Amino acid sequence: MGRFKIATVFGTRPEAIKLAPVLQALDKRGFDSVVIVTAQHREMLDQVLDLFSINPDYDLDIMLKKQDLFDISLNALQGLQSLLKKEKPDALLVQGDTTTTFIAALAAFYLKIKIGHIEAGLRTFDKDNPFPEEMNRQLTSRLTDFHFAPTDIAQKNLEREGIPTGNIFVTGNTVIDALLETVEDDYSFKKPPLNNIDFINNKVVLVTAHRRESWGEPLQNICLAVKKLAEDYQDIEAVFSVHLNPQVQQVARSVLDGIERVHLINPLDYELFVQLMNRSYLILTDSGGIQEEAPSLGKPVLVLREVTERPEAITAGTAKIVGRNTDRIVTEASLLLSNQNEYKKMAKAKNPYGDGKAAERIVDVLLGQLGS
């Protein structure tokens, strides 16, 4: 039996982070691995490629200034057509919920290439929330052959949609693999503004908010909550990692510029961001990935969304949905900042997303399924 050829397609920083352990495992197990990036997001993707020493075999470089979903979809599909015809992989791997994920699966389907979907089965069952990620996930599932579900709940979601149980494999989430490989205890920041933050005497509240549903008034409400917390608690420092999108930058800076002990920073590379999470006390975020990562570090998460496709964290008690209402965010954050018992309940809850061995399980499944 010859070596199986696996094509892996991704386009954004979160995909690259979660696929890095899988690519390492494919190489370790002797697969013929072909890495294709669409570069749906250019700069932030490149940071992770450098960190994990990922050298793509093909780079479609599709990112355009002021691109929209039509640009991404059309350019990715056209670019992948010729590459997949040329490489003829035995299977194609995609991850998560991006437009690249769905379009790559669609291209593989057109060419009758088997598809493996990593992080399959996450659902809100609201097609507009998150947009377009929820439908990217659902549509990808209709095309997928091997569904790598991170949790039992994700598996049950897929089964309810008619996916055969034999095609679903519960593996844990590969983001935990990447996180445990990257985090360093007692990390010391060397450059401003992070090297000027008093992590020892102050409680650091890490904030991220970038999703489309958060733009406009919801984001303003979030920023007003951060401002109120900084005013109410003299022993906290808020670090807001402000997405480069102008919709986010404008609102965040209009509300929070110049507020004492509030630090507005540009997005960090993954390695630095992991260390910042690890040194933080509390995290406010609308990110999906952080809901998975922070519990492994013992950091409570307040989810700045109305729904989440990651209910495991809510059930386990590592995260709580607080929405985008200023008063509710302040109330829930204040509880954790002032009540040690409530804080410990969340900080010490067990992470439901895995043990850092998800990539190995995925590669084991591929070897078994393609060899059968």
338-345 — which CB contacts under 8 Å span 24+ positions?
343/282, 343/300, 345/317
Active-site position among 97, 286, 312, 332:
97
The whole-angstrom separation of Cα 262 and Cα 245 is 20
Active-site position among 41, 117, 210, 279:
210
Active-site position among 243, 263, 279, 305:
243
Active-site position among 212, 269, 306, 342:
212
Active-site position among 15, 133, 134, 332:
133
Residue 257 designated active-site: no
Residue 243 designated active-site: yes
Residue 263 designated active-site: no
Active-site position among 119, 309, 312, 360:
119
Residue 147 designated active-site: no
Residue 212 designated active-site: yes
Residue 355 designated active-site: no
The torsion angle over the Cα atoms of residues 223, 226, 231 and 237, rounded to 10 degrees, is -130
64-69 — which CB contacts under 8 Å span 24+ positions?
69/99, 69/132
Active site residues: 97, 119, 133, 210, 212, 243
